[in-house]
C-alpha cells in the first residue's frame, strides 16, 4: 500500500516505521518548525515530500496527525472522496470551539455542565467575583496548555485571568465551567462511514509533568488504556454522537473525556477529534497485525481492527528543557538514543528523532556511527502491556531501562498508580468493566 502521512505536529515517526516494516511504501510531509525552518524529524527514516498536495493522488491511504491546521486546505480532498483517515473541519470544531462542542453534546442528549464563553478577561473576572465559585477555564483553539486551568478557589481563578490578560491579550475565546469533583476517565473509538469500530478505547490520562500529578500541565505525560467491546462510558458519551458524526462525514479517532461524579453521572469535559498524542502511539502497542490496512478497511466500511485483550501503559521520555524548550531556545538536537536499533517498533516508540552521527563504542574504540539521534525534546514513548495495570507499568519501566540518552532524560515513574483507588470506585458505578489493577 502507498501511504501518505501529513504530519502537522511531528509525532508520526513510530507509525511510519511500523508501516515500512510491514512492506508499505510511505511518504511523509512534516509541517515547518515554529520558526519557519525545515522540520528534520524523521530525516533518514522516510521519504519526505515538500508539497503534500502533489502526493495526494499517489496515495492509497492518507493519514492525518492533527486538526490544528490544514483543515480548510484539505476540505476539497475530503469532498472528492480521497482516502483520508483523519479529522475534517467540522470535526475539529467540536474540539477547538469548546462552546460549539458543548452545544452539540447537549443536542445529542448528553448531560453537560453549565459553561459560559468569554472573549474578555475583565468580563470573565466579574463573572467569577459575582458567583464566588470554583471554576475550570479552557481555551478555544490549539493553544498553550498553560491556558487551561483548574482553580482551587475564586481567588486563584481571578489571579490567572489577570495574568492571561497581560500574557495572552489576543485570545481566541475561552469557557468557564463550574468545577465538579469526581474521577476523570475518557473513551474513544474509530469512526468510519458505517459507524463505530466494535473496539472502544477506555483510557486515563496523566497530564502533569511530575510524579504525584504535580508540576505544569503538558497535555499528556503518560496514559493507561484498554480496548473493550462493552463500555458504559461509550454508551453514554460516544454512541449518542453517532448521527452527528455521520452528518459531518467524520473519519478517524474520536474521544470524549469526562468527570464521573459520585452519583455515576459522566459530565463531558472535552472532545478530542483527532489522534491524541502520545495516546495514538500507545494504541499501536495493543493493535495486532498490519498497522495501516485496518484503517483503509474502515474507510471502506469494514471493521477489521484486531487488538490485544490487555492493558497498555505508555510513558513519555523527554530531555531538557521540555516542556519549555520553545521559550528557552535550548538546542535539543543531536543527542544519541542508544539501544533503539532493534527496539524502535517494539516497546520503544521514537518521536522527535532523526538519523545522525554520534559516538559509539566498538571493539574498545570510540567510532562515529549512523544512529537515531534527537530532533527535539519529546524523544520517545515507552510502552508495556499486560493483563493488569501494575503488570503493564512494570513492563514499561523495563523498556525504559533498555535505552540510554545523554542530556538527563526524564519521565514519570508513577503512570497508572492513582488507578489503584479509582478502578474499584468506577466499577462500583458500572464503569471500567474488565479492568484489573
CATH number of the domain that 118 lies in?
A: 3.30.1490.20
**Residue 193 φ/ψ, nearest 5 degrees:** -65, -20
Give me the mean pLDDT over the 38-65 stretch: 98
Among 157, 178, 199, the domain-final residue is 178
pLDDT for residue 343 is more than 80: no
> Does residue 168 sit within a domain?
yes
> Does residue 395 sit within a domain?
yes
Read off the pLDDT of residues 126-172 as tens digits, 9 standing for 90 and up.
999 999 999 999 888 776 666 789 999 999 999 999 999 998 887 88
Among 154, 178, 202, the domain-final residue is 178
Give yes or no for a contact between 313 and 392, defined as CB atoms under 8 angstroms apart.
Answer: yes
> Does residue 132 sit within a domain?
yes
Report the pLDDT value the prediction gives residue 342, as an integer from 0 to 100.
66
Among 134, 151, 178, the domain-final residue is 178
pLDDT for residue 304 is more than 90: yes
> Does residue 214 sit within a domain?
no
The reply to whether omega before 71 is within 30° of 0 (cis) is no
Question: Strands 348-350 and 266-272: what pairing?
Answer: unpaired
Report the pLDDT value the prediction gives residue 25, as an integer from 0 to 100.
99
Range of the domain at 331: 312-410
> Does residue 43 sit within a domain?
no
What is the pLDDT of the chain when averaged over all its residues? Answer: 96
CA diameter of the chain: 73
> Does residue 34 sit within a domain?
no
Q: What is the CATH number of the domain that holds 387?
A: 3.90.600.10
Q: What is the pTM of this model?
A: 0.95
Give me the mean pLDDT over the 195-205 stretch: 99
pLDDT for residue 303 is more than 70: yes
How many structural domains comprise the chain? 2
For residue 308, list its beta bridge partners.
none
Give yes or no for a contact between 158 and 176, defined as CB atoms under 8 angstroms apart.
Answer: no
> Does residue 119 sit within a domain?
yes
> Does residue 302 sit within a domain?
no
Amino acid at each position: 500500500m502507498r501511504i501518505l502521512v501529513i504530519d502537522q505536529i511531528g509525532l508520526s515517526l513510530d507509525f511510519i516505521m511500523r508501516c515500512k516494516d510491514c512492506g508499505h511504501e510511505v511518504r511523509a510531509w512534516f509541517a515547518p518548525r515554529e520558526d519557519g525552518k525545515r522540520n528534520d524529524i524523521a530525516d533518514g527514516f522516510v521519504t519526505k515530500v515538500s508539497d503534500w498536495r502533489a502526493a495526494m493522488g499517489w496515495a492509497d491511504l492518507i493519514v492525518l496527525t492533527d486538526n490544528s491546521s490544514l483543515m480548510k486546505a484539505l476540505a476539497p480532498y475530503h469532498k472528492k472522496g480521497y482516502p483520508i483517515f483523519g479529522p475534517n473541519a467540522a470535526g475539529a470544531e467540536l474540539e477547538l470551539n469548546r462552546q460549539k462542542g458543548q452545544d452539540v453534546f447537549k443536542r445529542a442528549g448528553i448531560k453537560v455542565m453549565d459553561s459560559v464563553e468569554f472573549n474578555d478577561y475583565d468580563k470573565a473576572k466579574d463573572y467569577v467575583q459575582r458567583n464566588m465559585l470554583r471554576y475550570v477555564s479552557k481555551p478555544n483553539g490549539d493553544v498553550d496548555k498553560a491556558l487551561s486551568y483548574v482553580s482551587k478557589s475564586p481567588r486563584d481563578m481571578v489571579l490567572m485571568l489577570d495574568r492571561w490578560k497581560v500574557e495572552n491579550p489576543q485570545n481566541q475565546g475561552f469557557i468557564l465551567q463550574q468545577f465538579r469533583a469526581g474521577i476523570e476517565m475518557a473513551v474513544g473509538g474509530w469512526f468510519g462511514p458505517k459507524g463505530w469500530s466494535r473496539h472502544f478505547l477506555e483510557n486515563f490520562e496523566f497530564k502533569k509533568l511530575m510524579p504525584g500529578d504535580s508540576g505544569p500541565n503538558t497535555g499528556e505525560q503518560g496514559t493507561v488504556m484498554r480496548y473493550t467491546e462493552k463500555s458504559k462510558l461509550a454508551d453514554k458519551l460516544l454512541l449518542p454522537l453517532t448521527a452527528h458524526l455521520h452528518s459531518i462525514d467524520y473519519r478517524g479517532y474520536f474521544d470524549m473525556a469526562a468527570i464521573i461524579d459520585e452519583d455515576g453521572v459522566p459530565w463531558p469535559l472535552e472532545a478530542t477529534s483527532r489522534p491524541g498524542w502520545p495516546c495514538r502511539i500507545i494504541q499501536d502497542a495493543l493493535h495486532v497485525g498490519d498497522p495501516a490496512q485496518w484503517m483503509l478497511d474502515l474507510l471502506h466500511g469494514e471493521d477489521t481492527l484486531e487488538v490485544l485483550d490487555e492493558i497498555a501503559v505508555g510513558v513519555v521520555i523527554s530531555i531538557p528543557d521540555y516542556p519549555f524548550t520553545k521559550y528557552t531556545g535550548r538546542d535539543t538536537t543531536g543527542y544519541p538514543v542508544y539501544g533503539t536499533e532493534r527496539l524502535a517498533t517494539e516497546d520503544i516508540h521514537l518521536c522527535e528523532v532523526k538519523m545522525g552521527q554520534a559516538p559509539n563504542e566498538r571493539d574498545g574504540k570510540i567510532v562515529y556511527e549512523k544512529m537515531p539521534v534527537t530532533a527535539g525534546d519529546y524523544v520517545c514513548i515507552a510502552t508495556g502491556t499486560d493483563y493488569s495495570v501494575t503488570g503493564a507499568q512494570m513492563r514499561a519501566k523495563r523498556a525504559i531501562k533498555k535505552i540510554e540518552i545523554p542530556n538527563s532524560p526524564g519521565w514519570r515513574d508513577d503512570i497508572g498508580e492513582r488507578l489503584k483507588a479509582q478502578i474499584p470506585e468506577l466499577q462500583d458505578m458500572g464503569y471500567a468493566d474488565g479492568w484489573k489493577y
